[in-house]
Homo-oligomer: A and B are copies of this chain.
């Protein structure tokens, strides 16, 4: 289970992959396959959390890494690049937003 906790100080990326609605399931599957086979085995990987927009025009990954260096290492690796290029082939646009988690309020304690 993924936890969101400001004290963890992870390197966070909210990555939006725009897509034609009829290709959303396929894009999601390709991204999940890449995560299972490659990304999740990389050093410093903490979590990937795949969402689909209600209107099916985007897949959104809330990604946690131990550090920016760990995330960069995957993107700098030619094999990592090739896998990402293949998995995102159906996306019309990829928009990563790098964020810090500042504050959390939860009803569940």
Contacts and interface: CB of A to CB of B under 8 A. Distances in A.
Contacts of A28: 102-103
A87 interface: no
Integer count of this chain's copies in the complex: 2
Contact of A105 (B47, B58, B60, B106): B47
Contact of A107 (B47, B49, B58): B47
B51 A12 contact: yes
Interface string A34-78: 011001100001111111111100101010000000000000000
A49 B8 CA distance: 14
A97 to B, nearest CB: 6
Nearest to A4: B2
